[in-house]
Amino acid sequence: MIALPIIVLLLILAFKFKNLFKKYSIYLYLLFLVLSTIAYIFIDKPGFTLFKMGYLSFAFFYVVMLVGALPKKQPKPKENIVRRDYSIIGFITIIPHVLYNIFNVNIVSNGPIVFGLITFISMIPLFITSFPYIRKKMKESSWIKLQKLAYLSYVTLFIHLIIHSTGANLVMYIVLFAVYIVLKIRLILKNKSLVNKA
């Protein structure tokens, strides 16, 4: 359940301080890169559980998912700047978790971890093309098509989480995924309705 309060905090920050993300995004990337490097070096030490278990990165990614499933006219941190920054930071902070599992978990005897690897690999092109400089080099249509990889990442991420969770954490992940699915379907139906009325 540790990821839940982090998700709430990140949502509040996205609502209240989105201009700070726009102004200091590079510094935030560097900060979390340093923190992630330190976390990996001291991964088994107390205080780095958020990185080791992937709770911090999941919180960032879930906010990205949630914001993308909200209607545009609803007051919220819908601006791409927040989703972009959160997705970049989410990827940076997942690296210690991925490296730890690659070097410390037997993939052959722990098959379900493959879903986590698929998630990470599918996020790499999304991470690279999230930077404005890279995005400007791409055609808009190509960039939009590439972003559909995010849905693969979402599905494999939740499969990974559900397989490896028990008790309260399992219930939390199922509920969070259900909330996202409901909001996303609602948004799709609403957009379809607006198109039909046009």
The helix, strand and coil proportions of the chain, stated in percent and rounded to the nearest 5, come to 80, 0, 20
pLDDT at residue 106 is higher than 70? no
pLDDT at residue 104 is higher than 60? yes
What pLDDT is attached to residue 31? 96
Which range, of 18-32, 70-84, 98-112, averages the lowest pLDDT?
70-84
d(CA 72, CA 183): 12
pLDDT confidence tier of residue 177, bands split at 50, 70 and 90: very high
What pLDDT is attached to residue 179? 94
Q: What is the per-residue pLDDT across 110-130, written as a single tens digit (0 to 9) for each?
A: 666 888 999 999 999 999 999
